[in-house]
Structure 1
Amino acid sequence: MKSYAIITDIHGNSPALKAVLEDIDSKEIEQIFCLGDMIGIGPDSNTVMELLLQRNNISFVIGNHEIAVIAAYKGELPPKGHEDERVHHKWLADRIEERYIDFLKKLPKRIVYEDSGIKFYLAHYHLNSMGDYLPIEKNPTSEKLDELYSNLDYDIVCFGHHHIVHQFKSDKINYFNPGSLGCYHKPIARYGIVRINNNSIEEEVIEVPYNNVSFLKSYEDLKVPDREFILKIFHGAQI
Protein backbone atom coordinates (compact mmCIF):
# COMPACT_ATOMS: atom_id res chain seq x y z
CA MET A 1 0.00 0.00 0.00
CA LYS A 2 1.19 3.52 -0.82
CA SER A 3 -0.01 6.73 0.83
CA TYR A 4 -0.05 10.28 -0.51
CA ALA A 5 -0.73 13.49 1.44
CA ILE A 6 -2.97 16.18 -0.07
CA ILE A 7 -2.59 19.70 1.32
CA THR A 8 -4.45 22.70 -0.02
CA ASP A 9 -5.44 26.26 0.87
CA ILE A 10 -2.77 26.93 3.48
CA HIS A 11 -3.52 30.63 3.03
CA GLY A 12 -0.47 32.07 4.73
CA ASN A 13 -1.03 30.20 8.01
CA SER A 14 2.41 28.96 9.08
CA PRO A 15 1.55 27.39 12.47
CA ALA A 16 -1.18 25.30 10.84
CA LEU A 17 1.25 24.17 8.14
CA LYS A 18 3.94 23.29 10.70
CA ALA A 19 1.44 21.13 12.62
CA VAL A 20 0.39 19.30 9.45
CA LEU A 21 3.94 18.70 8.22
CA GLU A 22 4.90 17.27 11.62
CA ASP A 23 1.90 14.94 11.45
CA ILE A 24 2.76 13.88 7.90
CA ASP A 25 6.32 13.14 8.99
CA SER A 26 4.97 10.72 11.59
CA LYS A 27 3.39 8.62 8.83
CA GLU A 28 4.70 6.68 5.84
CA ILE A 29 3.91 9.10 3.03
CA GLU A 30 5.28 8.64 -0.49
CA GLN A 31 4.69 12.16 -1.71
CA ILE A 32 2.90 15.38 -0.77
CA PHE A 33 0.74 17.18 -3.32
CA CYS A 34 0.17 20.87 -2.56
CA LEU A 35 -2.86 22.14 -4.44
CA GLY A 36 -2.42 25.90 -4.35
CA ASP A 37 -3.42 28.96 -2.35
CA MET A 38 -0.33 28.63 -0.22
CA ILE A 39 -0.32 32.42 0.21
CA GLY A 40 -3.06 35.02 0.40
CA ILE A 41 -5.51 35.77 3.24
CA GLY A 42 -2.98 35.01 6.00
CA PRO A 43 0.14 37.17 6.53
CA ASP A 44 2.80 34.42 6.72
CA SER A 45 3.67 34.11 3.02
CA ASN A 46 7.44 33.97 3.45
CA THR A 47 7.37 31.48 6.33
CA VAL A 48 4.91 29.22 4.52
CA MET A 49 6.99 29.19 1.36
CA GLU A 50 10.18 28.55 3.33
CA LEU A 51 8.58 25.56 5.08
CA LEU A 52 7.38 24.09 1.80
CA LEU A 53 10.48 24.65 -0.29
CA GLN A 54 12.90 23.21 2.23
CA ARG A 55 11.38 19.81 1.49
CA ASN A 56 12.03 17.64 -1.56
CA ASN A 57 8.88 15.50 -1.50
CA ILE A 58 6.24 18.08 -2.48
CA SER A 59 4.70 18.63 -5.92
CA PHE A 60 2.85 21.92 -6.46
CA VAL A 61 0.10 23.50 -8.52
CA ILE A 62 -0.72 27.19 -8.52
CA GLY A 63 -3.90 28.60 -6.97
CA ASN A 64 -5.97 31.70 -7.63
CA HIS A 65 -4.42 33.65 -4.75
CA GLU A 66 -0.91 33.04 -6.06
CA ILE A 67 -2.04 34.33 -9.45
CA ALA A 68 -3.55 37.43 -7.82
CA VAL A 69 -0.48 38.19 -5.67
CA ILE A 70 1.83 37.74 -8.66
CA ALA A 71 -0.31 40.21 -10.63
CA ALA A 72 -0.12 42.71 -7.77
CA TYR A 73 3.64 42.20 -7.49
CA LYS A 74 4.10 42.89 -11.21
CA GLY A 75 1.68 45.83 -11.22
CA GLU A 76 -0.70 44.05 -13.58
CA LEU A 77 -4.49 44.16 -13.45
CA PRO A 78 -6.03 41.78 -10.90
CA PRO A 79 -7.47 38.51 -12.20
CA LYS A 80 -11.20 38.44 -12.81
CA GLY A 81 -13.05 38.12 -9.51
CA HIS A 82 -10.19 39.51 -7.41
CA GLU A 83 -10.67 43.21 -8.05
CA ASP A 84 -12.06 43.92 -4.57
CA GLU A 85 -9.11 42.09 -2.96
CA ARG A 86 -6.42 44.15 -4.67
CA VAL A 87 -5.41 46.17 -1.58
CA HIS A 88 -4.98 42.96 0.42
CA HIS A 89 -3.00 41.24 -2.34
CA LYS A 90 -0.80 44.32 -2.85
CA TRP A 91 -0.03 44.31 0.89
CA LEU A 92 1.09 40.69 0.58
CA ALA A 93 3.00 41.32 -2.65
CA ASP A 94 4.97 44.15 -1.00
CA ARG A 95 6.17 41.74 1.69
CA ILE A 96 6.85 38.48 -0.13
CA GLU A 97 10.41 37.67 -1.16
CA GLU A 98 11.11 37.89 -4.88
CA ARG A 99 12.50 34.34 -5.02
CA TYR A 100 9.10 33.00 -4.01
CA ILE A 101 7.37 34.99 -6.74
CA ASP A 102 9.86 33.52 -9.23
CA PHE A 103 9.01 30.03 -7.99
CA LEU A 104 5.24 30.50 -7.95
CA LYS A 105 4.89 31.93 -11.44
CA LYS A 106 6.45 28.78 -12.93
CA LEU A 107 3.91 26.41 -11.36
CA PRO A 108 1.37 24.50 -13.48
CA LYS A 109 -2.38 24.57 -12.95
CA ARG A 110 -2.67 20.79 -12.97
CA ILE A 111 -0.68 17.65 -12.32
CA VAL A 112 -1.36 14.24 -13.84
CA TYR A 113 0.25 11.39 -11.91
CA GLU A 114 0.03 7.61 -12.13
CA ASP A 115 0.87 4.94 -9.56
CA SER A 116 0.20 1.21 -9.87
CA GLY A 117 -2.26 1.83 -12.67
CA ILE A 118 -4.18 4.45 -10.64
CA LYS A 119 -4.38 7.78 -12.47
CA PHE A 120 -4.45 11.00 -10.40
CA TYR A 121 -5.62 14.40 -11.59
CA LEU A 122 -4.66 17.21 -9.20
CA ALA A 123 -5.54 20.90 -9.51
CA HIS A 124 -6.45 23.81 -7.29
CA TYR A 125 -9.98 23.63 -8.67
CA HIS A 126 -11.85 22.43 -11.73
CA LEU A 127 -10.69 24.01 -14.98
CA ASN A 128 -12.56 24.78 -18.18
CA SER A 129 -11.25 24.02 -21.66
CA MET A 130 -9.36 27.34 -21.65
CA GLY A 131 -7.53 26.45 -18.44
CA ASP A 132 -9.47 28.92 -16.29
CA TYR A 133 -10.94 28.06 -12.90
CA LEU A 134 -14.65 27.40 -12.93
CA PRO A 135 -16.95 29.20 -10.44
CA ILE A 136 -17.32 27.34 -7.15
CA GLU A 137 -20.12 24.79 -7.26
CA LYS A 138 -21.91 25.33 -3.93
CA ASN A 139 -23.83 22.04 -4.12
CA PRO A 140 -21.49 19.53 -5.74
CA THR A 141 -22.52 15.95 -6.44
CA SER A 142 -20.78 13.00 -8.04
CA GLU A 143 -23.12 13.37 -11.02
CA LYS A 144 -22.15 17.01 -11.59
CA LEU A 145 -18.47 16.20 -11.20
CA ASP A 146 -18.74 13.28 -13.62
CA GLU A 147 -20.13 15.70 -16.22
CA LEU A 148 -17.02 17.89 -15.85
CA TYR A 149 -14.63 14.96 -16.25
CA SER A 150 -16.66 12.83 -18.66
CA ASN A 151 -14.05 12.98 -21.41
CA LEU A 152 -11.07 12.34 -19.13
CA ASP A 153 -9.65 9.04 -17.97
CA TYR A 154 -8.78 9.44 -14.28
CA ASP A 155 -9.41 7.31 -11.21
CA ILE A 156 -9.16 10.09 -8.62
CA VAL A 157 -9.51 13.87 -8.87
CA CYS A 158 -8.04 15.89 -5.99
CA PHE A 159 -8.71 19.62 -5.60
CA GLY A 160 -9.15 22.47 -3.12
CA HIS A 161 -10.36 26.09 -3.41
CA HIS A 162 -13.77 25.38 -1.89
CA HIS A 163 -12.72 25.25 1.76
CA ILE A 164 -15.13 22.54 2.85
CA VAL A 165 -14.47 18.81 2.63
CA HIS A 166 -15.63 16.95 -0.50
CA GLN A 167 -15.60 13.17 -0.73
CA PHE A 168 -17.61 11.84 -3.66
CA LYS A 169 -17.36 8.54 -5.46
CA SER A 170 -19.05 7.66 -8.70
CA ASP A 171 -18.86 4.47 -10.73
CA LYS A 172 -15.91 6.01 -12.56
CA ILE A 173 -14.00 8.48 -10.37
CA ASN A 174 -13.21 9.32 -6.74
CA TYR A 175 -13.36 13.06 -5.98
CA PHE A 176 -11.49 14.39 -2.95
CA ASN A 177 -11.02 17.81 -1.36
CA PRO A 178 -9.70 17.58 2.23
CA GLY A 179 -10.75 21.14 3.05
CA SER A 180 -8.66 24.22 3.72
CA LEU A 181 -5.55 23.58 5.81
CA GLY A 182 -5.19 27.16 7.02
CA CYS A 183 -8.73 28.56 7.17
CA TYR A 184 -11.15 26.98 9.60
CA HIS A 185 -13.49 28.06 12.38
CA LYS A 186 -11.61 25.88 14.88
CA PRO A 187 -7.91 25.67 15.88
CA ILE A 188 -7.57 22.61 13.66
CA ALA A 189 -5.51 22.18 10.49
CA ARG A 190 -6.82 19.72 7.90
CA TYR A 191 -5.19 17.67 5.21
CA GLY A 192 -5.95 14.47 3.32
CA ILE A 193 -4.36 11.09 2.79
CA VAL A 194 -4.98 9.01 -0.33
CA ARG A 195 -4.08 5.34 0.04
CA ILE A 196 -3.55 3.09 -2.95
CA ASN A 197 -3.80 -0.66 -2.31
CA ASN A 198 -3.78 -2.79 -5.45
CA ASN A 199 -6.68 -1.30 -7.44
CA SER A 200 -8.49 0.25 -4.48
CA ILE A 201 -8.46 3.93 -3.49
CA GLU A 202 -9.17 5.15 0.03
CA GLU A 203 -9.28 8.77 1.19
CA GLU A 204 -9.13 10.09 4.74
CA VAL A 205 -9.37 13.61 6.16
CA ILE A 206 -6.89 14.20 8.99
CA GLU A 207 -7.54 16.95 11.57
CA VAL A 208 -4.52 18.24 13.50
CA PRO A 209 -5.03 20.54 16.53
CA TYR A 210 -2.66 23.50 16.81
CA ASN A 211 -2.32 26.75 18.75
CA ASN A 212 -3.61 29.56 16.53
CA VAL A 213 -3.79 32.39 19.11
CA SER A 214 -0.61 34.23 18.05
CA PHE A 215 -1.43 33.74 14.38
CA LEU A 216 -4.90 35.24 14.68
CA LYS A 217 -3.55 38.09 16.81
CA SER A 218 -0.98 38.87 14.11
CA TYR A 219 -3.73 40.15 11.79
CA GLU A 220 -4.24 43.10 14.12
CA ASP A 221 -0.58 43.48 15.07
CA LEU A 222 0.41 43.71 11.40
CA LYS A 223 -2.65 45.74 10.38
CA VAL A 224 -3.49 43.27 7.62
CA PRO A 225 -5.95 44.85 5.16
CA ASP A 226 -9.51 43.48 5.43
CA ARG A 227 -8.57 41.77 8.71
CA GLU A 228 -12.00 42.07 10.32
CA PHE A 229 -13.70 40.44 7.35
CA ILE A 230 -11.03 37.74 7.08
CA LEU A 231 -11.14 36.82 10.75
CA LYS A 232 -14.94 36.58 10.65
CA ILE A 233 -15.40 34.72 7.37
CA PHE A 234 -12.31 32.55 7.18
CA HIS A 235 -11.55 31.91 10.86
CA GLY A 236 -15.02 31.95 12.38
CA ALA A 237 -14.39 35.02 14.57
CA GLN A 238 -12.36 32.94 17.04
CA ILE A 239 -10.96 36.12 18.60
Structure 2
Amino acid sequence: MKIAFISDIHGNAVALDAVLKDIEAKDVDQVVVLGDLCYRGPEPKRALELVQSLNTMVVKGNADEWVVRGIRDGEVPDQAIEMMRTEQQWTVDKLSNEDITYLENLPTGATIELTDQIKIHVFHATPTSLFEMIKPTEADEVVEANLMSEASADLYLYGHIHLPYVRYINGKTVANLGSVGLPFDGLNHASYLIAEGEGADFTVGIHRVKYDVSQVIQKVNEAGYPNPNFIKQVLGQ
Protein backbone atom coordinates (compact mmCIF):
# COMPACT_ATOMS: atom_id res chain seq x y z
CA MET A 1 0.00 0.00 0.00
CA LYS A 2 1.24 3.46 -0.91
CA ILE A 3 -0.56 6.46 0.63
CA ALA A 4 0.07 10.17 -0.02
CA PHE A 5 -0.69 12.57 2.83
CA ILE A 6 -1.25 16.27 2.12
CA SER A 7 -2.19 19.20 4.34
CA ASP A 8 -2.17 22.95 4.81
CA ILE A 9 -3.28 23.88 1.31
CA HIS A 10 -4.58 27.26 2.48
CA GLY A 11 -6.46 28.16 -0.68
CA ASN A 12 -3.39 27.72 -2.90
CA ALA A 13 -5.04 25.69 -5.63
CA VAL A 14 -2.12 26.19 -8.02
CA ALA A 15 0.19 24.40 -5.60
CA LEU A 16 -2.43 21.71 -5.01
CA ASP A 17 -2.75 21.12 -8.77
CA ALA A 18 1.00 20.52 -8.93
CA VAL A 19 0.99 18.19 -5.94
CA LEU A 20 -1.91 16.10 -7.24
CA LYS A 21 -0.16 15.78 -10.61
CA ASP A 22 3.00 14.63 -8.84
CA ILE A 23 1.03 12.14 -6.74
CA GLU A 24 -0.65 10.74 -9.84
CA ALA A 25 2.74 10.15 -11.44
CA LYS A 26 3.87 8.19 -8.36
CA ASP A 27 0.94 5.75 -8.66
CA VAL A 28 -0.28 5.94 -5.06
CA ASP A 29 -3.24 3.89 -3.82
CA GLN A 30 -4.85 6.57 -1.67
CA VAL A 31 -4.63 10.25 -0.74
CA VAL A 32 -5.39 11.48 2.79
CA VAL A 33 -5.84 15.18 3.65
CA LEU A 34 -4.96 16.57 7.09
CA GLY A 35 -6.74 19.89 7.09
CA ASP A 36 -6.43 23.63 6.46
CA LEU A 37 -8.04 23.61 3.06
CA CYS A 38 -9.25 27.14 2.23
CA TYR A 39 -8.24 29.97 4.53
CA ARG A 40 -5.31 32.33 3.77
CA GLY A 41 -5.08 31.87 0.02
CA PRO A 42 -6.51 33.31 -3.20
CA GLU A 43 -8.63 30.33 -4.36
CA PRO A 44 -10.50 28.90 -1.37
CA LYS A 45 -13.41 27.55 -3.41
CA ARG A 46 -11.29 25.79 -6.03
CA ALA A 47 -8.95 24.35 -3.40
CA LEU A 48 -11.93 22.91 -1.54
CA GLU A 49 -13.45 21.47 -4.71
CA LEU A 50 -10.15 19.79 -5.62
CA VAL A 51 -10.01 18.16 -2.18
CA GLN A 52 -13.64 17.04 -2.39
CA SER A 53 -13.04 15.55 -5.84
CA LEU A 54 -10.55 13.12 -4.27
CA ASN A 55 -13.45 11.43 -2.44
CA THR A 56 -11.12 10.47 0.40
CA MET A 57 -10.46 10.83 4.13
CA VAL A 58 -10.17 14.50 5.15
CA VAL A 59 -9.60 15.67 8.73
CA LYS A 60 -10.25 19.15 10.10
CA GLY A 61 -7.56 21.76 10.70
CA ASN A 62 -7.59 24.93 12.77
CA ALA A 63 -8.04 27.09 9.66
CA ASP A 64 -11.10 25.03 8.71
CA GLU A 65 -12.50 25.63 12.18
CA TRP A 66 -11.82 29.36 11.79
CA VAL A 67 -13.75 29.45 8.53
CA VAL A 68 -16.70 27.84 10.30
CA ARG A 69 -16.86 29.93 13.50
CA GLY A 70 -14.35 32.80 13.22
CA ILE A 71 -11.17 33.58 15.12
CA ARG A 72 -11.51 34.01 18.87
CA ASP A 73 -9.55 36.39 21.07
CA GLY A 74 -6.28 34.83 22.17
CA GLU A 75 -6.00 32.39 19.28
CA VAL A 76 -3.62 34.59 17.29
CA PRO A 77 -1.35 37.52 18.27
CA ASP A 78 -3.28 40.69 19.07
CA GLN A 79 -1.48 42.66 16.36
CA ALA A 80 -2.61 40.16 13.70
CA ILE A 81 -6.18 39.42 14.70
CA GLU A 82 -7.94 42.28 12.87
CA MET A 83 -6.33 41.42 9.54
CA MET A 84 -6.81 37.69 10.03
CA ARG A 85 -10.49 38.25 10.73
CA THR A 86 -10.73 40.29 7.54
CA GLU A 87 -9.10 37.41 5.64
CA GLN A 88 -11.48 34.95 7.29
CA GLN A 89 -14.54 36.93 6.19
CA TRP A 90 -13.12 37.25 2.66
CA THR A 91 -12.74 33.47 2.55
CA VAL A 92 -16.24 32.82 3.89
CA ASP A 93 -17.69 35.13 1.23
CA LYS A 94 -16.15 32.88 -1.47
CA LEU A 95 -17.78 29.72 -0.10
CA SER A 96 -21.35 28.39 -0.03
CA ASN A 97 -23.34 27.35 3.00
CA GLU A 98 -22.79 23.75 1.90
CA ASP A 99 -19.04 24.33 1.87
CA ILE A 100 -19.14 25.67 5.43
CA THR A 101 -21.20 22.69 6.58
CA TYR A 102 -18.70 20.33 4.94
CA LEU A 103 -15.83 21.93 6.86
CA GLU A 104 -17.81 21.94 10.10
CA ASN A 105 -18.51 18.22 9.90
CA LEU A 106 -14.96 17.04 9.20
CA PRO A 107 -13.53 14.60 11.76
CA THR A 108 -10.53 15.65 13.84
CA GLY A 109 -8.50 12.48 13.38
CA ALA A 110 -8.41 8.94 12.04
CA THR A 111 -6.43 5.70 12.20
CA ILE A 112 -5.52 4.18 8.84
CA GLU A 113 -4.00 0.79 8.02
CA LEU A 114 -0.90 1.04 5.83
CA THR A 115 -0.59 -2.74 5.95
CA ASP A 116 -2.17 -5.47 8.07
CA GLN A 117 0.71 -4.90 10.51
CA ILE A 118 1.19 -1.12 10.40
CA LYS A 119 -1.29 1.52 11.59
CA ILE A 120 -1.04 5.27 11.05
CA HIS A 121 -2.69 7.79 13.38
CA VAL A 122 -3.41 11.08 11.57
CA PHE A 123 -4.56 14.47 12.87
CA HIS A 124 -3.95 18.13 12.12
CA ALA A 125 -2.08 19.52 15.15
CA THR A 126 -2.39 17.02 18.02
CA PRO A 127 -4.96 14.29 18.72
CA THR A 128 -6.72 16.57 21.22
CA SER A 129 -6.21 20.06 19.76
CA LEU A 130 -6.51 21.79 16.39
CA PHE A 131 -4.29 24.63 17.59
CA GLU A 132 -1.37 23.36 19.70
CA MET A 133 2.03 23.56 17.99
CA ILE A 134 4.52 20.72 18.41
CA LYS A 135 7.71 21.80 16.66
CA PRO A 136 10.47 19.60 15.17
CA THR A 137 12.86 20.67 17.94
CA GLU A 138 10.72 19.45 20.85
CA ALA A 139 12.21 16.87 23.22
CA ASP A 140 11.26 13.24 22.67
CA GLU A 141 9.12 13.17 25.80
CA VAL A 142 7.15 16.23 24.62
CA VAL A 143 6.51 14.64 21.24
CA GLU A 144 5.45 11.38 22.87
CA ALA A 145 3.09 13.06 25.32
CA ASN A 146 1.43 15.29 22.75
CA LEU A 147 1.42 13.31 19.51
CA MET A 148 1.77 9.60 20.32
CA SER A 149 -1.16 8.90 22.63
CA GLU A 150 -2.71 6.29 20.31
CA ALA A 151 -0.76 3.26 21.55
CA SER A 152 -1.90 0.95 18.73
CA ALA A 153 -0.34 3.14 16.02
CA ASP A 154 3.12 2.71 14.53
CA LEU A 155 3.27 6.02 12.64
CA TYR A 156 1.96 9.44 13.68
CA LEU A 157 1.42 12.05 10.96
CA TYR A 158 0.31 15.66 11.30
CA GLY A 159 0.32 19.09 9.65
CA HIS A 160 -0.27 22.55 11.15
CA ILE A 161 3.33 23.74 11.68
CA HIS A 162 4.26 23.90 7.96
CA LEU A 163 7.71 22.40 8.77
CA PRO A 164 8.31 18.93 7.28
CA TYR A 165 10.35 16.41 9.25
CA VAL A 166 10.61 12.71 10.12
CA ARG A 167 11.68 11.41 13.56
CA TYR A 168 11.97 7.99 15.18
CA ILE A 169 11.14 7.67 18.88
CA ASN A 170 11.15 4.41 20.82
CA GLY A 171 10.62 2.29 17.75
CA LYS A 172 7.86 4.44 16.27
CA THR A 173 7.76 7.13 13.59
CA VAL A 174 6.53 10.72 13.86
CA ALA A 175 6.40 13.00 10.83
CA ASN A 176 5.08 16.34 9.73
CA LEU A 177 3.90 16.71 6.15
CA GLY A 178 4.92 20.31 5.69
CA SER A 179 2.53 22.53 3.73
CA VAL A 180 1.20 22.34 0.20
CA GLY A 181 0.34 26.02 0.01
CA LEU A 182 2.38 27.97 2.57
CA PRO A 183 5.64 26.23 3.54
CA PHE A 184 7.47 27.94 6.41
CA ASP A 185 10.91 26.34 5.95
CA GLY A 186 12.26 28.80 3.40
CA LEU A 187 11.71 26.61 0.32
CA ASN A 188 8.66 27.69 -1.65
CA HIS A 189 8.09 24.25 -3.13
CA ALA A 190 4.90 22.47 -2.06
CA SER A 191 5.48 19.74 0.52
CA TYR A 192 3.73 16.44 1.15
CA LEU A 193 4.51 12.93 2.43
CA ILE A 194 4.25 9.40 1.06
CA ALA A 195 4.14 6.31 3.28
CA GLU A 196 4.58 2.93 1.62
CA GLY A 197 4.40 -0.42 3.35
CA GLU A 198 4.33 -4.16 2.88
CA GLY A 199 3.87 -6.46 5.86
CA ALA A 200 6.00 -5.08 8.69
CA ASP A 201 8.25 -3.03 6.39
CA PHE A 202 7.65 0.58 5.43
CA THR A 203 9.20 3.79 4.13
CA VAL A 204 8.24 7.39 4.87
CA GLY A 205 9.43 10.26 2.71
CA ILE A 206 8.90 13.99 2.28
CA HIS A 207 8.32 15.10 -1.32
CA ARG A 208 8.82 18.66 -2.60
CA VAL A 209 7.13 19.92 -5.75
CA LYS A 210 8.20 23.03 -7.63
CA TYR A 211 5.47 25.05 -9.31
CA ASP A 212 4.95 28.51 -10.81
CA VAL A 213 4.65 30.71 -7.73
CA SER A 214 4.11 33.77 -9.93
CA GLN A 215 0.72 32.31 -10.92
CA VAL A 216 -0.30 32.32 -7.27
CA ILE A 217 0.78 35.93 -6.83
CA GLN A 218 -1.15 36.87 -9.96
CA LYS A 219 -4.27 35.22 -8.54
CA VAL A 220 -3.73 36.99 -5.18
CA ASN A 221 -3.66 40.33 -7.00
CA GLU A 222 -6.61 39.55 -9.30
CA ALA A 223 -8.78 38.27 -6.45
CA GLY A 224 -8.14 41.33 -4.30
CA TYR A 225 -6.95 39.21 -1.40
CA PRO A 226 -6.92 41.48 1.67
CA ASN A 227 -3.44 40.51 2.92
CA PRO A 228 -1.31 39.97 -0.19
CA ASN A 229 1.99 40.82 1.51
CA PHE A 230 1.70 37.84 3.86
CA ILE A 231 1.39 35.37 0.98
CA LYS A 232 4.11 37.08 -1.06
CA GLN A 233 6.48 37.01 1.91
CA VAL A 234 5.91 33.32 2.64
CA LEU A 235 6.33 32.38 -1.01
CA GLY A 236 9.41 34.54 -1.42
CA GLN A 237 7.96 36.98 -3.93
Counterparts of 1:64 and 1:203, CA distance in 2:
25
Matched residue of 2:204: which SS? strand
Q: Distance in 2 between matches of 1:6 and 1:140?
A: 22
Residue 219 of structure 1: how far off its partner (Å): 2.0
**TM-score (norm. length: structure 2):** 0.87
Tell me how far apart the structure 2 counterparts of residues 200 and 167 of structure 1 sit (CA, whole Å): 16
Q: How do 1:171-190 and structure 2 match up within 5 A?
A: 171-184=170-183, 185-190=186-191
Matched residue, 1:5: 4
Look up the match of 2:144. Answer: 146
C-alpha distance in 1, partners of 2:164/2:31?
Answer: 18
Secondary structure in 1 matching 2:122: strand
> Residues 80 and 108 of structure 1: is their aligned pair in 2 closer, same or farther, counting only changes over 3 Å?
farther
1:91-126, Cα deviation, whole Å (9 max, x unpaired): 111111222212111101101122312111100111
| Residue 16 (1) aligns with residue 15 (2) | yes
1:157-196 correspondence runs (5 A): 157-184=156-183, 185-196=186-197
List structure 1 segments (4+ residues) > 4 angstroms apart after TM superposition: none
- CA contact 2:155–2:173 (8 Å) conserved in 1: yes
What's 1:30 paired with? 29
Residues 230 and 171 of structure 1, relative CA distance in 2, 3 Å threshold: same
Give the superposed CA RMSD.
Answer: 2.0
Q: Secondary structure at the match of 1:162?
A: coil
Q: Does the aligned pair in 2 maintain the 1:142–1:168 contact within 8 Å?
A: no
Q: CA deviation at 1:15?
A: 1.0
Post-superposition offset of 1:191: 1.2
Percent identical pairs in the alignment equals 26
Judge which range, 9-18 or 107-116, deviates more: 107-116
Query: What amino acid maps onto 1:28 in structure 2?
Result: D
Q: How does 1:1-239 map to 2 (within 5 A)?
A: 2-56=1-55, 58-72=56-70, 78=72, 80-82=74-76, 84=81, 85-114=84-113, 115-128=115-128, 131=129, 133-137=131-135, 139-148=137-146, 149=148, 152-184=151-183, 185-232=186-233, 234-236=234-236, 238=237
Deviation at 1:27, TM superposition (A): 2.1
CA 116–138 in structure 1, closer or farther in 2 if over 3 Å, else same: closer
Contact 2:178 2:191 in 1 (8 A): yes
CA distance in 2, matches of 1:68, 1:134: 14
CA deviation vs aligned residue, 1:122-142 (integer Å, no higher than 9, x gap): 0011134xx553234362344
